[in-house]
Amino acid sequence: MKKGKPSIINGATFYHHPNGGGLVAETANVDKNVYIGLNAMVCNNAKVYDNAIICNHAIVSGWAKVYGNAEISDYAKIYDDAKIFGNAKIFGNAEVYGWAEVYDNAEIYGFAKIFGNQSFHDNIKLSGDVKIFGYADISDYAKISGNAIVCDNAIICDNAKVLGDVEVSGNSIISENSIISSTKINWSTFEIKT
């Protein structure tokens, strides 16, 4: 994949990717058929393959993996051991890191920060200044936005919406078309259904 004259950035050697011209560290593993846009970077030991797209000013680093038809764009950052695959889209200034996995048709954008040990899948949408961490499980058609915090073992699923300045933690479950806004839910076994 090495093409052209290398660039040295912070002591690491980078080459321009043949499909898009973005920078790829010589230690990274990137297929030649993926698209790495001109201002995008793949650093460290990251892997990008299949039909993945990394564009605009997006950065994939650490041991992160991006594959399938996943798209990382704008100023999004994927790092540590995060995995993004399927048709997932990460954009805006969103960050996904730790051991988080984002897949299926999930979309994470805005200034959302996703980290820890969770999976985000199906058709979820996370936006705004959302922070999700711990072992939280977000799935189905759930939508989380605003300044919401979801952590610990909380579950948000089945078309539920968590909006605004909300904190959901502990073993809370928000499901079945429920809409939660401007509330702090921090009970060990709290469940909301419509």
Sign of the CA dihedral with 138 first, then 142, 145, and 150 last: negative
Collapsing DSSP to helix, strand or coil, 126 comes out as: strand
Domains of the chain: 1-120 (2.160.10.10), 122-194 (2.160.10.10)
Say if strands 184-185 and 173-174 run parallel, antiparallel, or are unpaired. unpaired
pLDDT in tens, 18-62: 999 999 999 999 999 999 999 999 999 999 999 999 999 999 999
Instruction: Look at residue 72 and tell me whether its pLDDT is greater than 90.
Output: yes
pLDDT in tens, 86-106: 999 999 999 999 999 999 999
Of the candidates 3, 9, 8, the residue with the CA atom closest to the CA atom of residue 21 = 3
| Alpha-carbon separation of residue 144 from 14, 33, 107, 117 (angstroms) | 37, 34, 11, 18
Of the candidates 22, 86, 83, 29, the residue with the CA atom closest to the CA atom of residue 54 = 22
DSSP letters for 14-55: EEE-TTT--EEETTSEE-TTSEE-TT-EE-TT-EE-TT-EE-
> Which residue, chain included where needed, has tokens 């705004």?
128
Residue 1's pLDDT is what?
53
Encode 4-39: b = buried (16+ Cβ within 10 Å), e = exposed: eeeeeeeeeebbbbeebebbbbeebebbeebbbbee
